[in-house]
Structure 1
Amino acid sequence: MSVSLTGLSTNLSTLFSALGGSGSNATSASSLVSIAQGNISAATSGASSENPIVALQIAQRNQTQDIKAESLQPAVQRQIAAFTKAVKSATSVKQLLSNPTVLNVLLTANGLGSEAGFPALAQKALMSNPSDPNSLANQLSSTNSQWLSTAKTYQFATKGLAVIQQPSAISTITNGYAEVLWRQSLDAQTPGLSNALYLIQNAKNFTSAVQILGDSVMRSVVTTALGIPQQIAYQPLSAQEQAITNGLNISDFQKPQFVQTFADRYLAVEQSAAQSSASSSNNLAALAVKAQGLIA
């Protein structure tokens, strides 16, 4: 049984009156309804009614024009303009990477957006020498290979600003930034759609379980699609590799049709989990309200 948020809201005064309207009873009632409202609201927005496979097809078809549209959003344009100006005028790597806007755009474009809240770590990793096996970029690559990949791409340790100040590099970064923001916006309607697009674009670059485990997005997509519990992250690396290779012939990622099918499978699992979570939240909310006599 479930209850609509609208229906619940219209009965708030009745509930408070029935429970006394003051003192501890009123406080408990208010807290209960707040919790119920939050759960029902989350349940309502937690699972998209849109077919995720269709949503993926639409996103693929409209990708180029939609990314362009994203890049023209005023807020995005301001970030890109600030980034471009800072890169062109920078006189040292340290100065450049100390700029919060630069770091945010650069990390986001290179799949490290979640690390923008750790600027000191990011600066040290990006400025470390990827050729040194003991460098921070190499150390961090065991859990996220994007650190090493990004350090190799821009070569701050050995070439300073020479690479990132090239017009082609600036264009690649700003386009990548807009693309990531576009993908993130898709997840609001279809959970997992951003990851599915990443898989389709990058799967061919992964040839081993170790590579998959070292990429946060690929790790999430593959383990989710294969039904591997997240707790496996606490197991030895060899056990994690075995779990992946038991359910996946990684060489199949060289086949576009297989990759598309795997992306569809991932989205189906994601939607099923979202719907299950929404249903559970809805049921909990209904039970909580029923316990106070709102529902007969």
Structure 2
Amino acid sequence: MTIDLSVLYGSASTTSSTGTQSALAAFKKLQATAEANQAADSASTTAEKLAAQLRDIDNAGIQTRNAQYKQINAQVESDQTYFQNRIATATSVDELLSDNRFLKVIAYANGYGDTYTTNPQHLRDILTSDLNDPNSVARQGSVQDLELAKKYNFGATGTLTDTNGNAVGLDASGNIVNDNTAVTPLPASLAKLRNITVNSNGFAQLDPSGNLVIAGNVGNSDANAYSKALSKTLLTEETAPDSTDTSYEYDSEDYQRYIQRTDVQTDVQYFKDNIGSVKTEDDLFKNTRLLNFILKAYDLESDEQYPGKIRQILDSDLTDVNSLANRFQDPRYQQLAKDFDFFNSGTTKLTSSSTVDSIVNKYQQTSYEQNLDEQAPGVRVAIEFERRIKDVTSTVQVLGDSVLREVITTANYIPPELAYQDTDAQVATVEKKVNVTDLAKDPTAAEKLVERYLAIKDSGSSGSSGNSYLLDLFA
């Protein structure tokens, strides 16, 4: 549904006696649009709830699967550690070949899968193949079989010696040595597992200084390959879409046309292009165009001439009841301080993409409503009244909020001169006419009050109806 703005420019039936356009008629058109949008939002909300339910079901399945994956990954990590410890402590090939857990890592790391359980002997035969025997299992098998046999060389026989004929083995501390201090000879079949380079004749290779050449790391390489083969990547739960509500109750074709106006687009684009350059509060207050854009977004244009006040508002600690933002009854100041949070985060939050989008939305909406008010004076105040009255808990709040005060005093023929009395007298006067806390809870009553206010604005009588009324009020 669109707002028919002809009501703002049209026939005599929508024009007040003073010649201004009918604020009441315009407001009712806006309310009709809001009701249509609310119905659409309700349908959208139902769809969102259904999507959320399905998302929760899917995520429950993901959580169950991830719990299983975490157990699998923990087992894989345990197997890796076990495998590497066996490599470091084994004294013979036979003890390794009889260890299915050790064979499991070799099998999965080298593409043999569950062969370690379905045909473990075949895996052992490959590993222990004599590479010099053309009839050995590895030589008779596939390229994969031959590569595995070469990698581990478990088929080598005898004890290992280096190219100078020195025995290679372990000293008392378990270190690999070839200086005749070895107390435990090292089987040639374990040389590759201990990362000792063996030449084509089966001797341990020496560097020019006579030290054993240690190269590669079969154990680490296969432990990592095993992990890559069996580890599970945890699934990502589906997250809810951004819940920031950018819907506008008066959105319509007219509103969309308005925000595409050149002047509005120019202001919005300037703000988007330049807000990112604000690194400090000083940067913001030096650029009055940016600051004024923000103030208009929060309907605080009248404070443009008081930058010092706005700065104190932005710097307010909202947990301190005595901070300047909290000393005002007008909720716009608290909202400004809360949204930007200069006290805790400096300008970081101000320049975030979500805050920038929010300010732009506020600016477009406020500017649109101000434009409507120019055509039908009173509409803007009526709109704000309906938004704010829901949060009122005391009469004092009404007196401290220019919008609430304007509607309630005008609709009840309370003159502006009320402001000259002390607070208690003002409260008593307002409470004779209306119970503001009941009004806050009753949207229908609030709407009737707004309609009365707009009718009075249309008639040109806003509370100066004569001495009899004033005498009655202050008697």
Conserved 8 A contact 2:24-2:458: no
Q: Percent identity?
A: 31
Higher RCO structure, 1 or 2 (CA under 8 Å, sep 6+): 1
Paired residue for 1:112, among 300, 322, 326?
A: 300
Displacement, 1:114? Answer: 1.0
Tell me how far apart the structure 2 counterparts of residues 126 and 213 of structure 1 sit (CA, whole Å): 23
- Other-structure match for 2:429: 243
What secondary structure does 2:393 align onto?
Answer: coil
Q: Which amino acid aligns with 1:184?
A: Q
- Other-structure match for 1:148: 334
Which structure features the higher share of helix residues? 1
Tell me how far apart the structure 2 counterparts of residues 271 and 265 of structure 1 sit (CA, whole Å): 10
Tell me how far apart the structure 2 counterparts of residues 68 and 46 of structure 1 sit (CA, whole Å): 32
Conserved 8 A contact 1:47-1:274: no
Deviations 1:270-296 (A, max 9, x none): 12226999xxxxxxxxxxxxxxxxxxx
Displacement, 1:252? Answer: 2.3
Conserved 8 A contact 1:71-1:175: no
What secondary structure does 1:213 align onto?
Answer: helix
Conserved 8 A contact 1:47-1:191: no
Equivalent residues in 2 for 1:98-247 (5 A)?
A: 98-139=286-327, 141=328, 144-247=330-433
Deviations 1:210-252 (A, max 9, x none): 2222221111111111111111112111222222222112222
- Other-structure match for 2:448: 261
Deviations 1:184-225 (A, max 9, x none): 222223221111111223321222212222221111111111
Equivalent residues in 2 for 1:2-21 (5 A)?
A: none
What secondary structure does 1:55 align onto?
Answer: helix
Change in Cα spacing, 1:61 to 1:169, as seen in structure 2 (3 Å) is: farther
Displacement, 1:105? Answer: 1.7
Q: Count how many residue pairs are aligned between Structure 1 and Structure 2.
A: 232
Conserved 8 A contact 1:145-1:214: no
Conserved 8 A contact 2:415-2:463: no
Equivalent residues in 2 for 1:17-36 (5 A)?
A: none
Displacement, 1:98? Answer: 2.9
Tell me how far apart the structure 1 counterparts of residues 323 and 20 of structure 2 sit (CA, whole Å): 47
Conserved 8 A contact 1:195-1:217: yes
Which sections of structure 2, spanning at least 5 residues, go unmatched?
1-14, 34-249, 465-475
Tell me how far apart the structure 2 counterparts of residues 213 and 164 of structure 1 sit (CA, whole Å): 31
- Other-structure match for 1:283: none
Paired residue for 1:58, among 13, 29, 34?
A: 29
Compare CA radii of gyration and give the structure with the larger one: 2
